[in-house]
Structure 1
Amino acid sequence: MLPKIPPPHRDDVLLAVASVLAGLLLWSLGVHSNNSRHFLPVWAVLVPLGVLGSLELVRRTMPRLTLAVGTAGLIADQFTVGSIATVVIFTDLMYAAVVYGKPAMARRLPVSTGLITLVATIAALAWLRTPQALLIGVVTGVVSFAPALTGATLRNHREAAEAARLRAEQTALLAEMDRTQAVAAERARMARELHDMVANHLSAIAIHSTAALSIDSSATSREALGVIRENSVQGLAEMRRLIGLLREAGAGREPVAVPSLGGLEALVAQARTNGAASGLDFVLLDEREEGPPLPAPVELAAYRIVQESLTNALKHAAPGTVSVRLARGRGDGRLTVGVDSPHGDRPGPRAPGSGAGLIGMRERTELLDGTFTAGPAGTVWQVRASLPAEERAVRE
């Protein structure tokens, strides 16, 4: 099945009609280009004119065919009285072949027509041996090389403009992808912060409220209500701090201080108060040696890992001692965080867990190019995190 040929462009139709009419007008006026060296009747000049004029209709869709047939028509025109309109039409066909043809043909035509012009000029000088022979080379260049070069220049400009447009679209797409990833990363960071700040207090509230409901004792209820009130106030303060950070992020205000390892003692003391009713005790073992200060992201990650580990201990640990251990290597200075809590059956109320805490701890560690493990080891649930100690190791 032959491929369907699209209809000619409106401009090409107008160009074909105007070219043929101009040629007919010149013929009727007796304006010819080869009056002294024609071999055919005067009317024969209309045949190449009509053929090349009709080729204007398909100059965009079949540039290779139009150039081949147009070249044959131009040669045939040299055996007639000649028409300037036919020569002009051929120059347009040469131009269209470069602009609308395949890239290989568009690259070859300026080079080949340039060589043809050079060869024609040298041959004419060698044959005629007069300065007027240069006119043959000039005419050849005007008819073939000039339109090919013009078409190549226009095509290069179009391709450069298209490449610039594609680069702009690609840049916009990459920018949108970066924005989407930045929003997703910020949402994940906010989710971790919200979980780590509030989960500890809400877990204590859930445990003590369940104990107050299940144990019919005024002393127990009063103690539970005290713990609930303390954790409610602290959780509300943490929520307000997070909301303040979100509201003031774009206002150019001074950032609020983030938690650091210096606040671990208070954190462990609070966990000790919250876990007393469940038979839990909490101890902090800081085995770090003196060294350069840790980057703020590392201290924040370590603090949140300890905070979440204590929250999980309040939810799930069996009665016993929960130990928090900090150590720092002498060689690379990496910070090691370890939390050990009793693992086994636990009497009394337990708060439900979703697993988001372990995911958040792992994400915090991996964002800093650290390592994280969590799982049971006999009767102990172990949490281990190894964090870098140099600013250059911290991802943005």
Structure 2
Amino acid sequence: MPFALPRPHRDDWRIAVGGLLGGVLLWALGIHPGRASDPVVLWHASWAPLVPLALTVACEPLRRARPRTGLLFGTAALALDTVTVGSIVTIVLYTDLMYAAVLYGTPASARRIPWITGMLTVLGGLLPAALWRDPQGLLVGVAVGVVAFAPAATGWVVRNHRDAAEAARLRAEQTALLAEMDRRQAVTAERARFARELHDMVANHLSAIAIHSTAALSLDDPKTSRDALAVIRENSVAGLAEMRRLIGILRDSSGDLEPSPTPTLDGLAALVEGARANGLDVTLDAGHDRVPAPVELAAYRIVQESLTNALKHAAEGRVRVVVREENGSLHVRVTSAYRPGDAARAPGSGSGLAGMRERSTLLGGRFEAGPEDGQWAVRATLPLTEGDPA
């Protein structure tokens, strides 16, 4: 693959053209930093300063594309300029090449060039003064410092500020990205929470409505139909109240509202009575102290969903609910009669088991559900986290 030189920046071309015109103008006016009688002037031709000027001008387009190459040839041009009467423009352009080599060069070059030019500045002042035994020899070091070390140090400072600004910009972008990710995760978590609450609070009522409406339609008995319609009305009113609570929470812009009142384990007895009213033969065995609110709410919802599933899917038989605190955890177990192949009395989406598993996982607990000794068993172990209990 052939070597391709990066395209120079437009400003670099402008600097080169401006330097060439300015140098030629000063040469035409006879303005030079040196004189033909100076002992260091070895090339006395009148056009001699134009050669290092042209070479330095040719290096300017490389100040960004190839800063080290431009500095190398620029240094050679400056050395050549010292043996002529010289050109102020050549010196100025060289300081720009030195500055660009530090600013646009590699990190290694940016570290080494100021150190090297600093050493040359010190040596350029001390050695001539020591050899000539004349304090004016220090002016050589001053000249080296002005032409080489000062632009290199300036480039180092500007580069540090530029790198710091770029790092700050990247940090700001990363912070904004993380904030957006946190916002999306918070929205997703909030939606999942409301989905669980909606399913747990309303599904029980809707399942009872579906089952009792089926009974009312299938049995030609006025008393049975009236009893079924009474249960349907009771569950529809309760479900509508829960829906209104959730809608109120979603409409509240402050986000401070919670379903009121928040269910607790003290409400298990009322939950079981409601299940009995819907036709389930339920027994409750509860023994626990006061537990943290998140664990209490999760346990209540797991029992509630298990009773809903028993109402929809369980065979005829007793449903047993056990809630016990043992070994630093709250154990929830709900068993119901199970016969494989029985059709469900009400349709289900399967999200109830997923919601119970999510509640257990969020608290660092375990959840299992499945057939066990001719029964369907739901088991959840919820660790009691440290903190003030609810």
TM range (shorter): over 0.9
Paired position in structure 1 for 2:34: 34
Specify which of 343, 361, 386 is matched with residue 338 of structure 2: 343
Tell me the equivalent position of 2:295: 298
Q: CA deviation at 1:186?
A: 0.3
Kindly provide the amino acid, as one letter, of the partner of residue 299 in structure 1.
E
Match of 1:142 among 139, 146, 164: 146
Counterparts of 1:183-194 in structure 2, within 5 Å, are: 183-194=187-198
* Deviation at residue 21 of structure 1 after TM alignment: 2.0
**Displacement, 1:221?**
1.6
| Corresponding residue number in structure 2 for 1:17 | 17
2:182 to 153, 168, 178: 178
Q: 1:392 to 1:169 in 2, by over 3 A?
A: farther
Write the mapping of 1:278-297 to structure 2, written as runs, cut at 5 A. Answer: 280-288=280-288, 291=289, 293-297=290-294
SS of the equivalent of 2:285 reads strand
Deviation of 1:391 after TM superposition, in Å, equals 4.2
Q: Which runs of 5+ in 1 are unaligned?
A: none
Match of 1:321 among 318, 343, 361: 318
Aligned partners of 1:85, 1:238: CA distance in 2, in Å?
A: 85
The residue type paired with residue 31 of structure 1 is: I
Q: In structure 2, what is the equivalent of residue 244 of structure 1?
A: 248
Question: Helix, strand or coil for the counterpart of 1:44?
Answer: coil
Distance in 2 (CA, whole Å) between partners of 1:52 and 1:393 is: 77
CA distance in 2, matches of 1:379, 1:158: 73
Conserved 8 A contact 2:128-2:140 = yes
Query: Partner residue of 2:347?
Result: 352
Would the aligned equivalents of 1:368 and 1:393 in 2 still touch at CA under 8 Å? Answer: no
Q: 2:295 touches 2:382 (CA, 8 Å); kept in 1?
A: yes
Question: What secondary structure does 1:339 align onto?
Answer: strand
User: Once the 2 structures are TM-superposed, how far is the Cα of residue 6 of structure 1 from its aligned partner?
Assistant: 4.5
Distance 1:255 1:384, change over 3 A: closer
**Residue type of the alignment partner of 1:227:** V
Task: Give distance in 1, aligned partners of 2:386 and 2:332.
Answer: 18
User: What is the match of residue 100 of structure 1?
Assistant: 104
What amino acid maps onto 2:241 in structure 1?
A
Residue in 2 that maps onto 1:312: 309
1:215 to 219, 222, 232: 219
- Counterparts of 1:256-275 in structure 2, within 5 Å, are 256-275=260-279
- Cα deviation digits, residues 286-324 of structure 1 (max 9, x gap): 133xx4x21111111111000000000001111111011
Structure 2 residue 167 is the aligned partner of structure 1 residue 163: yes
Are residues 238 and 187 of structure 1, via their aligned partners in 2, closer, same or farther at CA, if it must alter by over 3 Å? same
Aligned to 1:206: 210
Give, in whole Å, the separation in 1 of the partners of 2:33 and 2:215.
112
Q: How far has the Cα of 1:255 moved from its partner? A: 7.1
8 Å CA contact 2:7–2:65 kept in 1: the answer is no
Partner of 1:361: 356
Instruction: Tell me the alpha carbon deviations over residues 202-254 of structure 1, each in whole angstroms, 9 at most, x when there is no partner.
Output: 01111111122222222222221111111111111111122223333617668
- Give the superposition deviation at 1:349: 6.6
Correspondence 1:386 to 2:384: no
TM-score by length of 1: 0.92
Kindly provide the amino acid, as one letter, of the partner of residue 298 in structure 2. A
Q: For the residues of structure 2 that align with 1:233 and 1:176, how far apart are their CA atoms?
A: 40
SS in 1 for 2:369: strand
Query: Could you list the runs of 4 or more consecutive aligned residues of structure 1 that deviate by over 6 angstroms after TM superposition?
Result: 346-349
Match of 1:83 in 2: 87
Distance 2:248 2:221 in 1: 40
The count of aligned residue pairs is 385
Q: 1:231 to 1:173 in 2, by over 3 A?
A: same
CA contact (8 A) 1:210 1:349 kept: no
Match of 1:129 in 2: 133
Aligned partners of 2:306 and 2:258: how far apart in 1? Answer: 30
How far does residue 26 in structure 1 lie from its aligned partner after superposition?
2.2
- The CA deviation string for residues 353-384 of structure 1, in whole angstroms up to 9 with x for no partner, is 21100000010111111111111102111111
What per-residue deviation string (whole Å, max 9, x for no partner) do you get for residues 83-108 of structure 1?
A: 12111111110001111111211111
- After superposition, the CA RMSD in angstroms is 2.0
Q: Decide whether the 8 Å contact of 1:59 with 1:97 is kept in 2.
A: yes
Deviation for aligned residue 1:257: 2.4
SS of the aligned residue for 2:48 comes to helix
Look up the match of 1:114: 118
